[in-house]
Chains A and B, each alone.
Chain A
Amino acid sequence: MAILTVDQLAQLRRECAQEQATINYEKSQINVAIQAVEDTFEAVRPTLSTNINTATAPLVLTAAQKRLLVKMWLQQKARRE
């Protein structure tokens, strides 16, 4: 589990704020939300990797390919929702 730095939190807060017309939360509140996302993703990361391996067996995607896959999936998922 990685504890995000104050600069990483600030960057994410800024990016979230840019996408919204009204911000109804304070820094401390969005900070813990961002950290919760980080913690949750890190908790499921090993399971996700294992499940991808199971799906593609006997092929094993590299870690970089899996990161790219998750990044692209998440971008598309955000557009779909």
Chain B
Amino acid sequence: MATHRIPILGWSTVPDTSGNVFLEPYNVKATNDVWDRLVTIFNDTATRIGLAGGFTVPKNYVGSANIIVVWTATATTGNVVWDFDYRAVGGNDAESLDQAGTQEAVTVTDAAPTAAHRRLEASMALTAANLAVDDEVEFELFRDGVSASDTMAAAAIVVAVLFEYADA
């Protein structure tokens, strides 16, 4: 058994319409102006703001499903509440991609880096049985600014979202 990680942000990724989740070059907030790859910004707000997307469960998936948010910030204190809501849709002409409600919502409260721009991993475990090989997983990743636990007074900078799983 081996553990794998695949990136799940891609062409299907779209920010919500709040204007507080958006893509920008990293060097807008980074100070060294060297690494100008795209990152996703989740602003400090009083609301729940998110990013939607989808991915396909790999052929060698067996279980131990986790979502890993790789992120950082200029803040060095406070917490961010991440919330991952999803629905896995499978089959061939069997299940609708347009279903109401989520199959599962998982959250994690992760502390700001102890120095600005340090890489962080926030991990959320999914119910492994909800997922099957070749399922299309529709998801939304939120930063929950409504939560009293979200205390970081700065934007969260997401550099990747990963699907971690074990094979046979």
Contacts and interface: CB of A to CB of B under 8 A. Distances in A.
Report if A and B associate in a common complex. yes
Interface of A: 6-7, 9-10, 13-14, 16-17, 20-30
B75 A7 contact: no
Contact of B31 (A9, A14, A21, A28): A21
B38 interface: no
Interface residues of B, number: 19
Contacts, number: 59
A24 to B, nearest CB: 6
Interface on chain A toward B: helix, strand, loop, or mixed SS?
helix
Contacts of A21: 31, 74, 116
Given A21-B74, A21-B116, A9 B46 contact: yes
Contacts of B31: 21
Interface stretch (B89-97, B123-131, B134-142, B149-157): B149-157
Contacts of A13: 44, 153-154
A21 B115 CA distance: 11
B107 interface: no
A26 B77 CA distance: 6
B151 A23 contact: no
B77 A24 contact: yes
B44 A17 contact: yes
A14 B43 contact: yes
Most buried by A among B31, B44, B46, B153: B153
